[in-house]
Structure 1
């Protein structure tokens, strides 16, 4: 059974039809939409600031979401896929974005709608990733633009697949 803990008077709140893997850990000021999935060994720490997650989001195995005390929050839009072993620290991820496996997204980053962060990337603090673009590398840099409809279709398909898997 997933570990759900209250911290500082905040208890995580989940929308309907969410999947929580047996060893997922979700604590504090965390609010999710419906149809989300939190996979094995994920840690969602709303202990020092808020984490807001939209509908149809999947946070895959081994990922960690955290914030800076009184300085950053996490806001994740709808149908976002967060790949295996991703770290998101105090960033804003807009609808239909995809964060590739093993990536790190630091404080005050904004990942635009339908954008893709390539696997293994390091997105430095305060970076703004334009909607419909692909970024990758260490540190992450712009690679190319992608068709917004193709990106939305791909990312929505992945998000729906993860709901089916759950």
Structure 2
């Protein structure tokens, strides 16, 4: 691949903060221009794409295995509350904001959606593009939620479940 500086660019910007350094599995892809900062753990097979920011400055961020954090997404925590927790096999679309919340496994979070403090997205749920999940809300397992504020629209179809799992 080249020099040591080229290798560090290929892993994006990975910085310690507040006495914590990110723990990133060896096969995780962190794109150039992405930043992973502080108390962050990212599981095997996951990826953090261009200009995404994963910032565990005041609390922890935990991202499971095979999860995909797409371009421009911001994952942050609350200084007064909890961290952000993302399960396995999750796709978070471009420019989403994930703030001090919990996202279960096998979820799809649409582009430009926002999930706020204390919200929970249960396993197998879909949050539509542009949706706003209000603080403290629970997106029920196996449901599609959309709107601002987000609400349940319908159960996730078998085709959608299969799409998420691929």
TM-score by shorter chain over 0.5: yes
1:118 maps onto 2:128 in alignment: yes
1:104 maps onto 2:114 in alignment: yes
In structure 2, how many angstroms separate the alpha carbons of the residues matched to 1:146 and 1:106? 22
Preserved contact between residue 96 and residue 151 of structure 1 (Cα < 8 Å): no
Residue in 2 that maps onto 1:15: 25
For residues 106-139 of structure 1, the C-alpha deviation after alignment (integer angstroms, 9 at most, x for no partner) is: 0011001110000000100000011000000011
Preserved contact between residue 23 and residue 40 of structure 1 (Cα < 8 Å): yes
1:51 maps onto 2:58 in alignment: no
Residue in 1 that maps onto 2:48: 38
Following TM superposition, the consecutive aligned residue runs of length 4 or more in structure 1 with deviations greater than 3 angstroms are: 149-152
- Asked which structure has the greater RCO (Cα within 8 Å, sep 6+), the reply is 1
Residue in 2 that maps onto 1:135: 145
C-alpha displacement at 1:70, in angstroms? 3.7
SS in 2 for 1:49: strand
C-alpha displacement at 1:17, in angstroms? 1.1
Question: RMSD of the TM alignment (CA)?
Answer: 1.1
Unaligned runs of 5+ in 1: 158-166
Unaligned runs of 5+ in 2: 1-8
Larger radius of gyration: 2
Residue in 2 that maps onto 1:160: none
Preserved contact between residue 132 and residue 151 of structure 1 (Cα < 8 Å): no
Residue in 1 that maps onto 2:3: none
Q: TM-score, normalised by structure 2?
A: 0.91
> Which residue among 150, 156, 164 is the counterpart of 2:165?
156
In structure 2, how many angstroms separate the alpha carbons of the residues matched to 1:109 and 1:137? 15
SS in 1 for 2:152: strand
In structure 2, how many angstroms separate the alpha carbons of the residues matched to 1:15 and 1:4? 13
